[in-house]
Structure formats: C-alpha cells, structure tokens
A = this chain, B = another copy of it.
C-alpha cells in the first residue's frame, strides 16, 4: 500500500508514447516496436512491452481487445468504439455516440446482478471496404 514507485521519464518511454499517439493504426506491440526503432534503434522488444503495460496502467493509452492475435494499442483515450476487419485485421475508429445510457445501464446491471461495472467495451466486426471488394473479385473469378 505504500509502494509508490516514482517513474522516470526515459527517452524510450517518451518515444513509445509519442509514436502511439501520432498514429491511428492501432498498432500491435510489434508494429510499434518497428515504428519506435526508427527513432531509437537500440530499443528492445521487452522495453516496448514493459512500457505499454505501464502506460496502460497509468491510463495514458488503451489496450484493445485482442483475440488470439496480438493485442492492439490505442493512443487515443477518449471514449470511442472500434471496428475490426475480420480479414485484414485493420482496426478503425468509429465515430458513433458512446452509450450515454451508460450510467443507467450500469445501475440496471448492478440492481439485477449485484455486479459493479468499471468499464465496458463495444467492438464491431465485419469486413472493411477494401476486403469486401477483394472478396467480390474472388467470387467473380470463381464462377
């Protein structure tokens, strides 16, 4: 309870956060590793992971739901939802309203189940435009 750690501003952490904030690709740790490597060539994979976990705990970034694939990270921490392309694995931001019934819904669930919700996640899945076009072309040539 009194193990307050004073984190330092290392060059690596700064670069990781900056690179993540400046992209909308919702990169995986590996993608980000490559991006960061351009500015900090000696950085290691472990450092990227350690910092992503730290920044996540500090609430400076978000870790999106990852399936069996690797996690995606988001430097945009304003509440918003995502669309995941089932084919190419791209992740898109959705500009729809975040459940404003949030509080009511949370209370409803609490009343019904006794479960106190901290946060929720609403993910949409489908095929992005590019992939849909590709799929149509494949179907055509199959006939």
Residues of A within 8 A of B (CB): 1, 63, 65-68, 71, 83, 86, 92, 94-96, 105, 108-109, 112-129, 132, 142
Counting every copy of the chain, the complex holds 2
Collect the chain B residues with CB atoms within 8 Å of residue A92's CB: 113, 115
Collect the chain B residues with CB atoms within 8 Å of residue A113's CB: 83, 92, 94-95
Which residue of B is nearest A121, CB measured?
B123
Q: B66 to A71, Cβ gap below 8 A? A: no
Q: A117 to B67, Cβ gap below 8 A? A: no
User: A91 CB to closest chain B CB, in angstroms?
Assistant: 11
Instruction: Give which listed residue, B105, B115, B132, contacts A129 with CB less than 8 A.
Output: B115
Q: B114 to A120, Cβ gap below 8 A? A: no
Assuming A63-B67, A66-B67, A67-B63, is B125 touching A119 (CB within 8 A)?
yes
The secondary-structure label for the interface of chain A is mixed
Q: A96 to B124, Cβ gap below 8 A? A: no
Collect the chain B residues with CB atoms within 8 Å of residue A124's CB: 109, 115, 117, 119-121
In the complex, A59→B114 CA distance in Å? 31
Can you give 11 contacting A-B residue pairs, CB < 8 Å?
A65-B67, A67-B71, A83-B109, A95-B113, A96-B112, A114-B129, A119-B125, A120-B125, A121-B121, A121-B124, A122-B123
In the complex, A80→B132 CA distance in Å? 28
List 9 additional A-B contacts (Cβ < 8 Å) besides A66-B67, A120-B123: A1-B142, A66-B68, A83-B109, A92-B115, A94-B113, A114-B129, A115-B124, A117-B124, A120-B124
